[in-house]
Amino acid sequence: MSVASTGLHALNVRGKRVLLRCDLNVPLKDGAITDDGRIRASLPTINALLEGGASLVICAHLGRPKGERKPELSLAPVAIRLSELLQRPVRFAKDTIGPDAERAVQELTDGKTTSSGGVVLLENVRYEAAETSKDETERATFAKKLASFADFYVGDGFGAVHRKHASVFEVAQLLPHAAGELVSAEVDVLKKLTETPARPYGVILGGAKVADKIGVISNLLDKVNVMAIGGGMVFTFLAAQGKEIGTSLVDMESLETVKELLARAESRGVEFLLPTDIVVAPKFENDNPTLVSADEMPSDQMGLDIGPKSAARFAEAIRQCKTVFWNGPMGVFEFSHFSEGTRVVAQALTEVDGLAVVGGGDSAAAVRALGFKDSQFGYISTGGGASLEYLEGKELPGLKALGF
């Protein structure tokens, strides 16, 4: 099999079928897409391949159906939205490697889907248990069926490159392949964050689970000048300092590790920012907000956002930086009473004189929900988990398969 290229330019796709792995894992509510950012992020590669004369068989996942056909996780709404954005028909196959998929691919060959450059979107690849199986033989068998649909493979689902899944890893072993525009752009940005960051370099981390971010914090402490912590994960840090956190989220198993991280940050001269004021409420509801000092949290209240003094302090630190990476909201941004911390941090990122990266997932959804435009930021990543594992220093199977 051919050696991987790291760009689409190396593939002569005219008149050929390309199996394109995208990240179309969009949020849905009552069957409607609430944020089409990941679909839009896939358009440059899709359009480049179509302009190059290829026909496309697109595969992607949505949620975690764990090998079951769950109607609420169907990619059917994505096919409709993709067709609207491309302004051309997108044939939706109701299965992944079954008879409908085979018919759809055959129509591409026959030129029946469109007069040129047809597009087929296969049903949720994770409906097939073999896609995520830990059994390499099962994954390989499934990968062969997917590979039979195409002449080339292009990996552009950055949000899944940290998974050793059939459509991400094994298929690339079976076909001439290349990285898509999105994957290449993501890697370029992540290299800037890890290898050559302009300084001062700041990182802001939020979200609910501190365990998900410990590896990133540990790896970046040697690289950053400023690190700020917000979101639900902050209460494990405050608890590690012996503070009352009420009924807030806390990861007791991570307390000792967090203490070690705080000590490391101090010894290395990293400016480590924790909130000094917190917006609390008695329940996880959009109601009854109260502002308290981080040193005086009531025992019967839970923290749902960083306070205004903390948000202003974080924002000032961000604006002083030349490179900033942000992953995870500062509070429950979906609730209007607890969204201000996230809004202030997002606004500060738009004012950075340098590279400001919004690290995918909830952060990307938050900035759009709060009325910001993608163009206001230096870069919005599509892959929260994949980005974090890269920044943690881990080898990502999907990138390795593409030659990175």
| Rounded Cα gap, residues 3 and 321, in angstroms | 40
Q: Which helix (H) or strand (E) covers residue 267, if one does? A: helix 255-267
| Rounded Cα gap, residues 39 and 203, in angstroms | 27
Within 10 angstroms of residue 222's Cβ, the number of other Cβ atoms is 9
| Rounded Cα gap, residues 371 and 170, in angstroms | 40
Let me know how long the chain is: 404
| Rounded Cα gap, residues 140 and 130, in angstroms | 8
Q: Which residue has the tokens 């059994």?
A: 135
Longest Cα pair distance anywhere in the chain, in angstroms?
70
| Rounded Cα gap, residues 295 and 272, in angstroms | 17
Angle at 390 between CA 163 and CA 208, to 5 degrees: 80
Among 88, 82, 17, which Cα is nearest to 56's? 17
DSSP state of 273: E
Q: Which residue out of 103, 209, 223, 264 is catalytically annotated? A: 209
Q: Which residue out of 17, 21, 37, 38 is catalytically annotated? A: 38
Q: In DSSP terms, which residues pair with 154 in a beta bridge?
A: 20, 178
Q: Is 283 a catalytic residue?
A: no
Helix, strand, or coil (residue 340): helix
Q: Which residue out of 360, 361, 383, 384 is catalytically annotated? A: 361
Residue 34 identity: T
Angle at 42 between CA 36 and CA 44, to 5 degrees: 125
DSSP state of 395: P
Helix, strand, or coil (residue 34): coil
Q: What are phi and psi of 381, to 5 degrees?
A: -75, 150
Q: Is 354 a catalytic residue?
A: no
The separation between CA 103 and the C-alpha centre of its own chain, rounded to angstroms, equals 32
Contact 170, 139 (CB under 8 A): yes
Cα first-last separation, the chain: 17
| Rounded Cα gap, residues 381 and 183, in angstroms | 10
Q: Which residue has the tokens 């961000």?
A: 318
Q: Which residue out of 67, 98, 215, 385 is catalytically annotated? A: 385
**Which residues belong to the active site?**
38, 209, 361, 385
